[in-house]
Amino acid sequence: MPEKFTEIPLERPHTPLLDQVSTPADMRTFTEEELVRLADELRAHLLYSVGKSGGHFGAGLGVVELTVALHRVFNTPTDRLVWDVGHQAYPHKILTGRRQALMDVRKEEGISGFPKRSESKFDTFGVGHSSTSISAALGMAIAARMDRLDRRVVAVIGDGAMTAGMAFEAINHAAHTDARLLVVLNDNNMSISRNVGGLATYFSKIWSSRTYNNIREGGKKVLKAIPSAAAFVRKTEEHLKAMVAPGIVFEELGFNYIGPIDGHDLPLLLQTLDNLKDLNEPVLLHTITRKGQGFLPAEDDPIGYHALNKIEPKPEPGTPPAKPKGPKYQQVFGDWLCDMAEADDRLVGITPAMCEGSGMKAFSERFPERFHDVAIAEQHALTFAAGLACEGKKPVVAIYSTFLQRAYDQLIHDVALQDLDVLFGIDRAGVVGEDGATHAGSFDLSYLRCVPNMVVMAPSDENEARRMLYTGYRYPGPAAVRYPRGTGPGTAIEEAMTALPLGQGVIRRQGRGVAILNFGALLTAALSAGEAINATVADMRFVKPLDRGLVDDLAARHELLVTVEDNVVMGGAGAAVSEHLAMMETVVPILHLGLPDRFIEHATRNAQLAEAGLDAAGIQSAIKDRLSRLRAGRRAAP
């Protein structure tokens, strides 16, 4: 259990209430006092289990009371509860029959770190990317109305996720449907809230009360025949609410806004939700929570404690110290960004809410006037970069591969079509380990290389990443460097800025018979396989433009070409090689190794690569099998 855990003393004489809860129905007979105890026990178990397994941490601690209240008031899973992103869903998993399974969360064969429909009937919508909850919940609410079901639908969305345009698109639509939808805005960063005090709480109790809402609904019916009077009353209500609460924007969009209220006051949450559950209109409840609530280090550092690594036991005396790891690719990117910014004052760094994860913290501190965190707004990030490029600046967009998918139209329409000078540092390319399929960057080589004007590079080590970033920065058009999560093979990094010749690969090992064409971070595995079978190994470096001359040379001298990439096979770098050979009417056997045509579930990155046959043993085995079939076919030929 983490140190300094002194905030939640449990009353030992009591039988743990959490032991009595296998589904939310088990807690619906608890008294209010027992529910408060249950919340304390739930928080304690979350601290213990995440310390054992690792995983998302701070967000879950912040919604313990809210989770208890939602499952107590609403008849889940008949009533639908939709979590946004899922970082905060660990308490939900504990209360819905996965308490013991949480010990193996995000491990191979263990439960997912995010809500997942195939995992539990209580997980109504699978998530990983933010800001989808309101859209999905609205769809569920409309479906319930079409089927004439007495079903309530609740979406829980954080203040960060609310910054995405998709959330407001859904809110705007919901207001025109009169759907039976409750949106709970879990505000844990004070980015929206103000006036969180006695007066706001007092008015929130009034606005959520059954008496007030009965009068409100009756007034609507009476004034329906007098549109001008109805509009006047509506505006008066909005302005009164705006005096003590920040919800005027939601009122203007057509939601009945309630709040803000203390999201850790369980009795208040229970009373408010019970009052709101039967309203037949879109309602937004604004709750104020504290990320990391109940664990002081997480409260003081919510970013650092967003997730925890597994707490390892202390090594035995005399155990040799672990070999220090080299820098992560994210740090290589961040160091290069600072060095480049020193050399060129045109550089502007952009990230959609991934400053720390993308290695941009030092840049944000050293060059704050040239750093822009645009929040969870990937589409805006790219078009914002395009606007900067139009005016002679050099924008560098740091973005996860899986999140770049959300801005594909902007990539094509706003950047590539206009041939604008934007560099993309694409992080978390390929499989990403424990975060699983929702966060895997499995498709970027396929969806980037088909876009005109793009240059696409895939470094095989840390120094290649630095050189490619500089190459892409110097290129006068859209360019992308894609690199994986975590550390590389430990190659020394040259401090000097050195560009690569555009579209040129390099031979790393000379062999016979088989040529392995590696694209990106799997070079170490490709070299190991090449050593075992005496194959030629080429580091292709560029997916686009492809080194066609090198491909032609390798095809002329080898009986089998093998492409290796940490990307789906379909449409990927290997497909580019086959397309070129077909255009040149070159007939040579070719084997494409990459990610299969299915989503790879969470495990360690090494385990995921082994499952896909992309470790050294898998590459070697696939080549031997293909050679065996080729040679058997030749022997059988007349």
Supply the Cα-derived Rg of the chain in whole angstroms: 28
Instruction: Tell me which H or E stretch contains 395.
Output: strand 394-400
Sign of torsion over alpha carbons 263, 268, 273, 276:
negative
Count Cβ atoms below 10 Å from residue 447 Cβ, excluding itself: 18
Tokens 């770049």 locate to: 404
Count Cβ atoms below 10 Å from residue 175 Cβ, excluding itself: 19
Reduce the DSSP state of residue 177 to 3 states and report it.
Answer: coil
Reduce the DSSP state of residue 534 to 3 states and report it.
Answer: coil
Query: What is the C-alpha to C-alpha distance for residues 80 and 277, in angstroms, rounded to an integer?
Result: 12
Which tokens hold the place of 167?
A: 């959330």
Query: What is the C-alpha to C-alpha distance for residues 185 and 329, in angstroms, rounded to an integer?
Result: 35
The answer to whether residue 4 is catalytic is no
Q: Choose, from 43, 106, 107, 291, the residue flagged as catalytic.
A: 291
Q: Choose, from 65, 281, 378, 565, the residue flagged as catalytic.
A: 378
The answer to whether residue 557 is catalytic is no
Amino acid identity, position 493: I
Instruction: Tell me which H or E stretch contains 455.
Output: strand 455-457
Reduce the DSSP state of residue 442 to 3 states and report it.
Answer: coil
Count Cβ atoms below 10 Å from residue 466 Cβ, excluding itself: 26
Q: Phi/psi at 447 (nearest 5 deg)?
A: -85, -15
Reduce the DSSP state of residue 126 to 3 states and report it.
Answer: coil
Count Cβ atoms below 10 Å from residue 588 Cβ, excluding itself: 15
Check if the beta carbon of residue 438 is closer than 8 Å to that of residue 114. Answer: yes
Torsion of CA 76, 82, 84, 87, to 10 degrees: 30
For residue 633, give Cα distances in angstroms to 219, 560, 620: 83, 14, 20
Q: For residue 50, give the nearest of 84, 22, 90, 79 by alpha carbon.
A: 90
Q: For residue 430, give the nearest of 407, 464, 400 by alpha carbon.
A: 400
Q: Choose, from 106, 406, 466, 541, the residue flagged as catalytic.
A: 406
Instruction: Tell me which H or E stretch contains 329.
Output: helix 329-343
Query: What is the C-alpha to C-alpha distance for residues 543 and 128, in angstroms, rounded to an integer?
Result: 28
Which tokens hold the place of 389?
A: 């490029």
Q: For residue 418, give the nearest of 452, 378, 445, 449 by alpha carbon.
A: 452
DSSP lists the bridge partners of residue 457 as 481, 542
Query: What is the C-alpha to C-alpha distance for residues 475 and 457, in angstroms, rounded to an integer?
Result: 12
Count Cβ atoms below 10 Å from residue 394 Cβ, excluding itself: 20
Reduce the DSSP state of residue 304 to 3 states and report it.
Answer: coil
- Strand duo 536-539 + 506-509: pairing: antiparallel
Check if the beta carbon of residue 449 is closer than 8 Å to that of residue 544. Answer: yes
The answer to whether residue 291 is catalytic is yes
Check if the beta carbon of residue 185 is closer than 8 Å to that of residue 284. Answer: yes
* Interior angle at CA 104, CA 103 and CA 108, nearest 5: 175
Check if the beta carbon of residue 290 is closer than 8 Å to that of residue 50. Answer: no
Which tokens hold the place of 82?
A: 């939709």
Torsion of CA 113, 117, 123, 125, to 10 degrees: 100
Residues with Cβ < 8 Å from 40, sequence gap 6 or more? 8, 10
Task: State the catalytic residues.
Answer: 291, 378, 406
